Chains A and B, each alone.
Chain A
Amino acid sequence: MVLDNCELETTVFERPDTLTGANTHYCPGCTHGIANRLIAEVIDEMGMREKTIGVASVGCSVFIYNYLNMDFVQAPHGRAPAMATGVKRVLPDRMVFTYQGDGDLASIGMTEIVHAAARGENITVFFLNNTNYGMTGGQMAPTTMPGQKTTSSQNGRDVETQGYPIRVSEMFSKLDGASYIVRRSLHDPKNIRMAKKAIRMAFETQVRGLGFSMVELLSICPTNWGMTPKTSIQWLEERMIPYYPLGDYKVHPALAEIKL
């Protein structure tokens, strides 16, 4: 029998220690869960779970502290980079990261994030860009695409009156204090693997004391986009990636030697 040759007791897939196993509040098809898991896997692989402090933000990212098994603090809307600065300056040997959506990071918290990057604050930022305010039901965000319909741009974002989206990674790549700024996407296995490598590189940037690191992760929001997960992924590929090109926007030369 074929089964006779199988090692049935060999574990081939398990939950990372860094995930608590709690059921998430994320909607079906949402890529937040993938991002949470990738961060957990990387922290496991680095053996840093007990030395990491997470800073949760406001939005769908707010409950990440329920899902990652480590010390966490919870910031006011947009202020996670400032709070992370406070934690990191007092505990410089700890790995400190924020997990923020586009409303939190690119709108209300733009000041805090820009200055954390400009200071070269030795923290890591995971920036989930799903082009809308997910938690409050899909309003227009700074990253909402021109023409994109949201609950607060119901005829599609009109750039004449509602302005243009902000390309955060491109903008931060111009700051001297930033050491690792990349954009990845969570829409297919290949890109998910690339995202995981970027998450590792971002943490390595911090562990090496090289300064500010950020991984922007293009994400889908099927519920608020009013699409199926499958259509959402197509929309991300066809509409978001051309506007928000994937790639390395700034990589500190000292990171070149790291092979993952």
Chain B
Amino acid sequence: MSRELMKGNEAVAEAAVRAGVVSYFGYPITPQTELLEYMSRRMPELGRAFVQAESELGAINMVYGAACTGHRTMTSSSSPGVSLMLEGVSYIAGTELPMVLVNVMRGGPGLGNIAPAQSDYNQMVHGGGHGDYRCIVLAPCSVQESIDLTVLAFDLADKYRSIVVLLTDGSIGQMMEACELPPMQPLKTKFADWAVQGAEGRERRFLTSINLDPAAQEEMNYRLLKRWVEVEANEVRYQEYFMEDAEYVVTGFGSSARIALSAVRAARAEGIKVGLIRPITLSPFPKQVYANLSDKVKGMLVVEMNAGQMLEDVMAANRYRIPTEFFARLGGVVPFPDEVLEEIHRMVETPIPTDSHPRDRWFARVMAKG
């Protein structure tokens, strides 16, 4: 396979095509639009379905319909657009359908801006839509990983009849990197016994999220949860860097992990025994890796481009055992590796308080700077 120079959003689009996506429905929004544009050329070229919908509401419900047929389908958007889609996301979850949603996050809340951010973590990982459901959430930190996780996303969606979110940001979506694309997969020809394609020579099927009998709805919720237990047992993914002898741990996901890694390398060059943990699946969250951190770990620094949304999950995962600090830039501001390195120095040089919340201490420092 030859290596190509590709933009993140376009690489995700081509990876989805090669993973056998049969229909794409989307709506323009920066910094995701290249994905839609790429699909508008590529899908018709292959005789596959492309519709630029009237809104994100339209797009997600087109996906909902397409997902009912059992064929692979997807949409993509960015933060405000994803908020609009959450109605459909809840219905799709409630109907137990596979689909892939790409969220190229930008600064918020509200209209915010078009710069990279990670402030949709809670929305994607802890719900967003109404009702009790979970999405599998994959967080790449490079163009190559965006490609690999897109292919994985379709497989996991089919395997677990689940929504899989590829959670990138304006930086990963817009950057160009050398990458390798997967081979073109043949389209699905075998379909699950729930797929609605017309009741030809069989009993009719119908797909719905309505369940007027609370006891039956409870059964349905149990079924979702049972599937989630399986996902948690089998699909946790993360990457560790320099962790063998680490006395300090930095952790973050996606872009912030990538930036933090530069800082960790710089700290290692100075002789600081620091490692990095990067969750690849934000949901299921790699709780075990944090729970299992040895007592030799003296401190942990969580770096995010939001106000500590993953921070809460990290602290709960290690049962608030390891003294933790927090560093973030918000609103679409991307941290510099030097800023993270400075935080590593602080963590190593000053005792980490355990009687206050890391977010409060970080925010107090931000406010003190003025």
Contact = CB atoms under 8 A, between A and B. Distances in A.
Interface of A: 49-53, 55-56, 62, 65, 69-76, 79, 82-91, 94, 111-112, 114-115, 119
Interface stretch (B58-66, B146-154, B258-266, B294-302): B58-66
A73 B196 contact: yes
Nearest to B90: A76
B201 A50 contact: yes
Contacts of A65: 206, 208
Contacts of A76: 61, 64, 87-88, 91
A50 B200 contact: yes
B210 A74 contact: yes
Contacts of A74: 95, 206-210
Interface in B51-86: 51, 53-55, 57-59, 61-69, 71, 73
A87 B87 contact: no
Given A65-B206, A90-B23, A52 B198 contact: yes
B185 interface: no
Contacts of B49: 89-90
Contact of B62 (A50, A52, A89, A91): A89
B51 A89 contact: yes
Contacts of A114: 54
A65 B65 CA distance: 15
Contacts of A50: 198-201
Contacts of A84: 65
Interface string B16-46: 0000001101000000000000000000000
A53 B195 CA distance: 11
Interface of B: 22-23, 25, 49, 51, 53-55, 57-59, 61-69, 71, 73, 87-88, 91, 95, 196-201, 204-210
Contacts, number: 128
A70 B199 contact: yes
Nearest to B92: A76
B121 to A, nearest CB: 25
B195 to A, nearest CB: 9
A75 B61 CA distance: 8
B62 A83 contact: yes
B200 A69 contact: no
Contacts of B209: 74
A53 B199 CA distance: 8
Contacts of A89: 23, 49, 51, 62, 66
Nearest to B59: A82
Contacts of A73: 64-65, 68, 196, 206-208
A76 B49 CA distance: 22
Contacts of B59: 82
Given A62-B210, A89-B66, A90-B22, A71 B198 contact: yes
Contacts of A90: 22-23, 49, 65-66, 69, 71, 73
A71 B65 CA distance: 12
Nearest to A77: B87
Given A74-B209, A82-B53, A115-B58, A87 B66 contact: yes
A69 B204 contact: yes
B69 A91 contact: yes
A91 B200 CA distance: 13
A17 B139 CA distance: 50
Question: Which of B51, B62, B63 has the most chain A CB atoms closer than 10 A to its own CB?
Answer: B62
A115 B207 CA distance: 24
11 contacts: A50-B198, A71-B205, A73-B64, A73-B68, A73-B208, A85-B58, A87-B196, A88-B65, A90-B22, A90-B73, A112-B58
Question: Which of B53, B61, B205 has the most chain A CB atoms closer than 10 A to its own CB?
Answer: B61
Given A74-B95, A115-B53, A119-B51, 7 more contacts: A50-B200, A51-B198, A72-B205, A72-B208, A75-B61, A90-B69, A112-B61
A244 B244 CA distance: 77
Contacts of B201: 50
